[in-house]
Amino acid sequence: MPSNIEETVHQMGRQARTASYRLAQLSTEQKNEILRAMAASIRAKSAKLIEANALDLQAGQEKGLSKAMLDRLKLDQTRIEAMAAGIDQVATLPDPVGQVLDTWDRPNGIQIEQVRVPIGTIGIIYESRPNVTADAAVLCFKTGNATILRGGSEAIHSNRAIAEALQTGGANAGLPDHAVQLIPFTDRESVAALAGMDQWLDLIIPRGGKGLIEAVVSMARMPVIKHYDGICHLFADKDADQEMAVALTVNSKTHKPGVCNALETLLVHQSIAADFLPKVAAALLEKGVELRGCSRTLEILPDLVPAVEEDWDTEYLDLILSAKVVDSLEQAVAHINHHGSHHTDVIVTANQATAEAFMRSVDSACVFHNVSTRFNDGGEFGFGAEIGISTDKLHARGPMGLRELTSYQYRVRGNGQVKS
Amino acid sequence: MPSNIEETVHQMGRQARTASYRLAQLSTEQKNEILRAMAASIRAKSAKLIEANALDLQAGQEKGLSKAMLDRLKLDQTRIEAMAAGIDQVATLPDPVGQVLDTWDRPNGIQIEQVRVPIGTIGIIYESRPNVTADAAVLCFKTGNATILRGGSEAIHSNRAIAEALQTGGANAGLPDHAVQLIPFTDRESVAALAGMDQWLDLIIPRGGKGLIEAVVSMARMPVIKHYDGICHLFADKDADQEMAVALTVNSKTHKPGVCNALETLLVHQSIAADFLPKVAAALLEKGVELRGCSRTLEILPDLVPAVEEDWDTEYLDLILSAKVVDSLEQAVAHINHHGSHHTDVIVTANQATAEAFMRSVDSACVFHNVSTRFNDGGEFGFGAEIGISTDKLHARGPMGLRELTSYQYRVRGNGQVKS
């Protein structure tokens, strides 16, 4: 007999599937009007949101959450306005649904059209930040998908209030019932129920730490789009403009060290190491970065902390950078393909051929030539909005915008063709 | 401690990953030359293949395999030549790898290019037919992917001989080591080992019955592209050309009843039912089809077998067809979305607006207007080759050709841009 939690989640799944068929029929104009109504509702209910959030903050303090965690949890007028403005902005983005991707005729006269359609139903499993409730729901809605949200226990009151504001605001403008649903449970069992119901759910996107993603991957029967670590590299080639290489290293490492597109390992061609490493080390030191070096780096900079094997596989998310001297482009590529997380890797070089060889050989979602790692981002790519940065190779790779929240369908028109 | 099987499979995974980096660097010309060498090797070793196949056939007879199973297992000169010709044909197909999918510039001067690249490493798990060994391996190879094959025990000798022929023939023309590997075990444990190693394997494609696919789905940590059942529908609308509707029903049902794109349920608009049902029933009877009807169908054709609820959810794969009278287009669509398997669904109508509404509302990989269900096929779509027909909505939906065996990568070129 299914438990109460499983039964509820499956019921939500059935409802989401029904809603998805109605969502697929909405015009872009109808969806945008609903989005603007959702944004207005978030603004109108800001006092209620702050009230609900206060319950989460109080519970968090009692549970002894860190100051950083409490800050991530917090909703204030500014953050609520940013949430609402984000929704209004999604209303202005082009709608990928209905776009004809390809069309061709066959010799027998049938006409084949490949058209973008919504995926259908999407589950989002996320941790503390309550704004994900709105961000994820509206991106899925804009692309005609029904959403089932499952947030963390820390933000449950805030999440409920946000979901309620989206639902009631949207409903006034024609949002189909059950298009946006929030699972009322925060038990682990509700994740298992969601991950098991592949008859109702087409996709799960976990947004959170590695532990959460791993748990979802091991349970899920439907596709999971993963946003794993970014162990990002910058390779300062022998033909690098060294000043540029210093600037890109510093920016990639220090601009926002706690995110997945921050730099974690610097690779330096041996022929410039003696010249380049002291310069980059000085610039990094000035920004408070702890540099850890391989044995050849230490020959040049003996005062550094020695890097151990584990360093090459670590996403520090902190002001720490490992540095390694390599013999060649090939060695740099081999290191990146072996130790990296296939997220974002950069070459700095003035040699075009070397740059192209690097980009063709590195097996990562984003390979950059003379650009900071920080540009692997939906906003920087011009997507207007981003659901995350996928480390998967199937369906969505790299920054995921609205396009990546769609599927396609073949529509074929004929006049009675039979197969002989 | 990992078992011998797990250790071997993981070792093959590591080797496949290394091979994938070398494969990604091969030019289209190099790959085509290797393919032709593989085809030549299959032809040259046909006697060995037939010899190995005889061992499988003998074991199959001893195990009491059905005549149909033994026939699927059998390799003869004609089938071996077809296999080799298939490989030669793949060599002639356009190579999707390297294709620029999109390119744009950002206001800060960075240039973004989205380029097709191989997926990397692909596991193929399949059942009895030995020709899958060659078909799957060469399609994956053409798109620059390393393949790990795991065939069924019934065909193990044949599979080994085919894999060996591909490997040795390919190696002479420059095929990287471990680009095509066959797991030497047929234990269930080897499937589990394959499905668990997401660090080495980017994708699994199970080719076989529902039981096999379900087992892989429940174990796999990496994406699985599924080829589930086809519960395909044809809706004879009130504005249907009835003669065409009869012809398409008969062709969709009887042309090859044992395949996933065969018709399983006929939906008939109430306003033509009394006229149309007797005509289509007579034509189906002539082809030996057992027609099962809903209560309203039975009012018109009282001699039919009554359809029970289960019929609407059954893929007969046989000369059986269920028929249901519906009130409207909406009811037809609702039936299809609820009972269908989102594979191939057809409307027959002379009314363009009705056809478009049907195609926009049916949530299936392929929606056809006045075309036999049998045209959901990579060959009929002009893909030149097909790895299967995906019932998934992520990455690949419907017929899967070479394009669907690729991923993409963003290559970004700048001149020192940092994020401020």
Interface residue B407 vs chain A (CB under 8 A): yes
Overall average pLDDT of the A86-104 stretch:
97
Overall average pLDDT of the A382-407 stretch:
94
What's the pLDDT score for residue B2?
62
Structure tokens that stand for A361 in this block: 């050989």
Q: Which residue in the set A370, A380, A409 is minimally distant from B415, CB to CB?
A: A370
What's the pLDDT score for residue B357?
97
Which stretch of A208-222, B114-128, B334-348 has the lowest confidence by average pLDDT? A208-222
pLDDT at A313 over 60: yes
Average pLDDT, chain A: 96
Q: Which residue has the higher pLDDT, B91 or B128?
A: B91
Separation between Cα atoms, residue A54 and residue A157, nearest integer Å: 9
Average pLDDT, chain B: 96
Separation between Cα atoms, residue A289 and residue A292, nearest integer Å: 10
Overall average pLDDT of the A222-251 stretch:
96
> B107 CA to chain A: closest CA distance, Å?
9
Interface residue B244 vs chain A (CB under 8 A): yes
What's the pLDDT score for residue A2?
63
Interval A186-214: pLDDT, tens: 888 999 999 999 999 999 999 988 889 99
Residue B339 backbone zone (phi > 0: left; psi -120 to 50: alpha; other: beta): alpha
- Within 8 A of A412 by CB-CB distance, chain B residues are 366-369, 371, 375
* Proportion of chain A above pLDDT 90, given as a percent: 93
Interval A29-82: pLDDT, tens: 999 999 999 999 999 999 999 999 999 999 999 999 999 899 999 999 999 999
Render A171-236 in DSSP notation, one character per residue. Answer: HHTTPPTTSEEE-S--SHHHHHHHHH-TTT-SEEEEES-HHHHHHHHHH-SS-B-------EEEEE
Which band of pLDDT confidence, cut at 50, 70 and 90, is reported for residue A1? low
Which band of pLDDT confidence, cut at 50, 70 and 90, is reported for residue A128? confident
Q: Which residue has the higher pLDDT, A110 or A208?
A: A110
What's the pLDDT score for residue A278?
98
How far, in Å, are A53, B239, B270, B274, B299 from residue B322 at the CA level?
55, 21, 16, 16, 15
Separation between Cα atoms, residue A272 and residue A345, nearest integer Å: 19
In chain A, the domains with their CATH numbers are: 4-226+398-413 (3.40.605.10), 232-375 (3.40.309.10)
> B366 CA to chain A: closest CA distance, Å?
5
How far, in Å, are A61, B71, B336, B373 from residue B351 at the CA level?
65, 45, 20, 19
Which band of pLDDT confidence, cut at 50, 70 and 90, is reported for residue A117? very high
Interface residue A275 vs chain B (CB under 8 A): no
Interface residue B366 vs chain A (CB under 8 A): yes
- Given strand B203-207, what is the order of strands in its sheet? B180-182, B146-150, B121-126, B203-207
Interface residue B400 vs chain A (CB under 8 A): no
Which band of pLDDT confidence, cut at 50, 70 and 90, is reported for residue A13? very high
- Whether residues A407 and B393 touch (CB distance < 8 A) is answered with yes
Q: Which residue in the set B365, B410, B416 is minimally distant from A409, CB to CB?
A: B365
Interval A147-157: pLDDT, tens: 999 999 999 99
Beta-carbon contacts of residue A89 (< 8 Å; ≥ 6 apart): A384, A385
pLDDT at B262 over 80: yes
What's the pLDDT score for residue B209?
85
Angle at A126 between CA A25 and CA A186, to 5 degrees: 100
C-beta separation of A361 from B21 below 8 A:
yes
pLDDT at A407 over 90: yes
Structure tokens that stand for A155 in this block: 């933000």
Interface residue B120 vs chain A (CB under 8 A): yes
pLDDT at B38 over 60: yes
Angle at B251 between CA B249 and CA B254, to 5 degrees: 100
- Whether residues A221 and B223 touch (CB distance < 8 A) is answered with no
Which band of pLDDT confidence, cut at 50, 70 and 90, is reported for residue B68? confident
- Within 8 A of A119 by CB-CB distance, chain B residues are 393-394
Could you report the predicted ipTM of this complex, rounded to two decimals? 0.94
HSE-CB for A229 with a 13 A CA cutoff: 16
Separation between Cα atoms, residue B141 and residue B387, nearest integer Å: 12
- Whether residues B412 and A369 touch (CB distance < 8 A) is answered with yes
Beta bridge partners of A147: A122, A180
Separation between Cα atoms, residue A346 and residue A233, nearest integer Å: 6
**pTM of the full structure:** 0.94
Render B109-153 in DSSP notation, one character per residue. Answer: S-EEEEEEEE--EEEEEE-S-THHHHHHHHHHHHTT-EEEEE--G
Which band of pLDDT confidence, cut at 50, 70 and 90, is reported for residue B128? confident
Overall average pLDDT of the A357-378 stretch:
97
Which band of pLDDT confidence, cut at 50, 70 and 90, is reported for residue B210? confident
Q: Which residue in the set A364, A374, A398 is minimally distant from B419, CB to CB?
A: A374
